[in-house]
Structure 1
Amino acid sequence: MKSHRLYRLRYARENQGPQVSEANTLSNKSKSSDFFREHGNLKQVTRQDGKNIVEDIIDSIFDKEAGKYVASSSRCSIVTGFEGSEHMDKRLKQWHDTLRDRARVQAKIHQRIGRRPEQMLLNQSGTLDQRNKGNITRIIDYADRLNPTRLVSQQYGVLPAHSDAKQCVFVPEVQQTVPLPERSGVADLEITGLSNATNQEIFGLENARKGKTSWINSEELEKSLNLKYMDIDRVVEFFPDMRKLEVIASNQNLIREPQSDIDLVAVKSLYSVSSITETNSPAEDQKPPVKVPLEPKVVSVGLRVNDREFIKDHCDTLFPSARFEYHFECTPFERQFKQVMRLENIGQNILFCEWLLADPSMHYCRRCFFFERNQFRLYPGDVHIINVMYRPNEVLLTRQFWKLRIFPHIFCNRRNGLMLLLVGKCVAPPEYLWKINKQLDLVIDKSLKARTVSLTQLHAELAPLIKPHEQLHPYERTLDEREQFNIQNVGYHCERFDDIEALRALYNEVKMPREPAWDMRLDTIKRFIIRLPEPNRRMMYFQILLNILPTLHCTRDQQSPMHCEHSNERERSCFIYVRGCIGNGIDEWEDLMMGIEESCFKTEIHRFCTLKDDTPNPPCLKKLKDENPAVYVHRVMQGKKYYRDALYMHTYTQLCDIAENVASVIESTQYV
């Protein structure tokens, strides 16, 4: 009825002649305001104005059905939207390139052949004829080729053997290659087709309902198939119906009549009682009796949620409510699907379900979770699947708390129900983290470079004050006996080989005949002297050792130069440097104070000359202000707080610098 009215209105409008509508004309100035300003009242709406509005609405409806669309000038283009972000995510750039290539190909096809994408031959149902015809023709061809009579009577050609005298080669006979189906006797057929859902999606609902084409429904084809039925049955035992090879969804969304479905009971809730024969053998009588499952009690209101049953009659033994929690984690603009609930009505009554937001404070302003939130009904035996898609737009943590209200009430309390907590965690993509880390690395590298430069300059300033240690380049050489003795005996220094020979002779006298040679250690000689049993010999050999050792002791000149003794020259140098640091610091402080005083005085003089000073002053300052303004300004400046604070801060900084310089001078002159 609605389409007939639209056509009647359009036909009547076309018979009246062309009408120009100004309803959609953009104007920066309102005509009604001008009319009211001139005449003092609003313009009356005539019957023709209402007719123009209706005609514009009808034109927009017909243009929409015809596929006409006029893009708005205020709409942002795809290129503008992706320019700033396509380098951040390769998926966005790939999608942008796909849209651009698709638009280019469609424009090129439309320019060449003048057809829009919906008018292409690929989307027409007539293209199915050749495919269906090819399937049947291929089956008939294999049936003819694999006929046993034809296979027996089939003769294949053979090239006879011959010899080539010029090349001195004997060529054997060559038989004709037999195809694989004839050799194996089995045909490997591939049957192609589209399911019913795919046909509706590609060719539309009307073209998909047409069914088979006229060629398939022809009588000649049916006669040919009946004649070759035996051969076809030998090749193909079963020809599938491609339209029915698909997974059909549950009938939960179908429209039903409530009167015919109220008393239905789910097939899964029924139990069949197995029949038992009355005559049993003696061996079977000894076995324990088989428990026959009784028919369960009919449930009036019941619901199964994820293999968990909730029955209204047994609410005292269950929890007052059930809570399901699911966590999602992905990057921005990425989609993640999860099946959160499977609802099955195991009762006899119809269940009415409705989603409500349990905690509005937990609902984020931007929607990240998408699932079917409309009211739905569960008939007895129906199954309803709830899938949730998580698609965040920015990096954040989102929580949503939903409650499924069910009528009739299954739980003990009407306020209770099925609680669904959705927690979504959106993490930053690797490309974004790489860019952020790159920017942070630039800042860190710059700061480290500046710190390294300052530290290097500090080390360069301190380098002249530090005396580098003498580095001896090691090389392989054989040590003489004196160097070995000096290394083995700390505190002793041997310069003559005669002392080494005297100690070796003493060792040979006190050691046993089979003991090893001397190891250049004085402790070894002392230990061997102590173990002698005769006291006279021990005293004699100790006296010989004591006579040799005085020449081996280190003198004061051979000790380390870092000896602690009083040096007048070092103290004099330290006093001179400290006095110079203090004097230079005082001179710098005086120059700094003079500069601060001069700059503040210029500012106060300028303010005194440009601004009127109405501050009440004592008589002495008032007289000084009239006679000598410069002295007056200088005296007033010395009493102001900002001037005193500046003097204090710069004085404190200068004193700290002087103290640091004095400490550095004292430490640097310690070893002069």
Structure 2
Amino acid sequence: MALNSFINAFSPPSSVSTEQNEDGGERPGLFVHNRRIVLELVNKIFDNKRGNVELSSSHCSSIAKKPSEYSYDNRLKYWKDMLEQRKFVQANIQEKTGKTPAQILFNRGVTVDERDKQTVRRLMDYAERLNPLTVMQRQEAILPEYIDCSTCQYVHEIRETLPKAERDGEKVVEITGLPLVTKEELLGKPKEQGGHKKSDWLRSKVLEEHIERKREDIERVIEFYPDIDKLQIVGESFSKMNTLRHNADIQYIGEEKIHFISQDSICEPTAPAASTSEPPPQPEYSVRINEHIFQLTEKRSSKYVELEVRFECEPFEKVVKRVLHLENLGKRVLGFEWVHRPYFEKNAGLLKAYDDEFLFQHKPFRLTSGESIDVVVQFQPRRADITKQKWMLKIDPQFFCRKVDAVVVRLSGKCKPAPEYIAKIRAVQTEVLNKSNTTMVRQITTRLASLTPLIKLPEVICPYKRTLTELELFEFYNPGYRCERYHDIQLLKELYERLKKPREPAWDLSIESLKAIILRQESPDKRALYFVEMISILEEMRGRPPIDFDEKILDNTERERTCYVYVRGIISTGIDEWEELTLTIEEAFLKAAWKEYIDNYSKASEEGAGGDAEHIEMLLNEFDEEEIKMWLVKELRHRKPFRDTLYMQTYTHVCNFIEDIVSVIESTDIV
């Protein structure tokens, strides 16, 4: 009774409601609603200024969400890690050398000249600093001793620390540079460097005179200045490229013929050796292309070489393949030149490579006698696509007597997407298809009642599927035989294994196939022996089985047990779902009742007199919030809206899982 009187004290009196209706006019509810919205907005503004935050009712977790499998591409992750690794290496180099990244690059003409210039300046600076007269005349700077009044401490004198070169009296100077071959490999030839003009500082006469004046000082630092161009290792082919710039009319002479041609020969060749089989004469012009050998004769060859090489990889991967092996088998020098042609004559832009997917050395080259070269092609795609290229290798002189007087090389590259990308695309497509299928199923089911006629379901002979054992299969394939032991089946299998050929299939549990393989034996004695063995095994299995085959399938306790398990699971699941449904409905109604209760309490506190308001606050503090909610729950269970909602939801839920039970029973019942 005390609790009921306490709750009634917060409800507004009837006089207040009538006064509000008279002041509000025709629509008092709209006025109260607008007033409540204004109060909420004003309170929210003041709460934001004070820093008050309304906590969410949802569960918060400090554990970070794991990224999805398809949210981050492995190629982007690899590139990001590579950039971070390069930044780390760049920072280490800058810390150890004290040079900026632009000063370390060797593939720039400006950097190479500037490095040589700074090397000479550093060498001359050390020579001037390590001059004995300069070292003797240099005095150390000394910071005198003094007393620090602020800390009342005596500070000793501080002497200057000379650089390490002056203290040791010597310096090991490191000379760095690039040979001519390396410069051409990194920078290219002078005509390929964009017309960059080299610095004249290193070749100036003033610098030469300055070095001559300080020659003695420089020799104290370094004994000699190395000639970097003479430290390079030049291959034989490189020297021939610089000297042999004319046509291929070059013939190599062996050591034996030099004695007859040279005018300054010292001695004649010794007596000829014993007669041996002379090797076949070497042709003037001959070339080996992979496995084919061509010679230049009066009648040129009508054969030709056409290759098609296929590449397949993922984006940003590299595939390297050897396409051609060329070898000069003749005496003369052969010239080779690559010519690019469109892959499709009528449509040159179809499947054209735009991003240098195919990389190989396609500059003109020459092969001397006995020299060989391998043409290696690297395929490095950057996007999923199919690209094709066609190259023709022309040989001077010509070896082919055809319309296409060259070696044709067709390059075909297929770049397939990464598996992660394909999986992501398939996941998106599956999601779209599932949504579309769900929409179509809903549209069909809404019209299913009006479109579907009354159809009588056909009779089902076997209501469910079951895997039969070998004994049951043997009785099914061989009517009139009854097999109760696996040992008999194994004896028949062993007999079949002894008689069949190695590549023949296993026994199919049929007696007819076993008889056929016995009759296939050539020896009559063996056939009789095997028949006696087979009949001795089958004699014990003759007779009709005691139980019909259909009864074994239909009268099965496993089917009934499965039905009971499914029905029990549906009932237990339905009860659990009903309990969760009841709790959800109670929480929803409790939130609305609690909000209504708080609103009534706020109105009563604003409109009540001073003494009554103090009395209400005292009563509210006496009761706990949980006790008030328990009281509200008891009140809710007696309200008609709550009971109607609970009954409707319970009825729907019970109908659903009863339908599931009926469907399970019907599916396992014999029709």
TM-score range, shorter chain: 0.3 to 0.5
**Larger RCO (CA under 8 A, 6+ residues apart):** 2
**TM-score (normalised: structure 2):** 0.32
- Rg larger in structure: 1
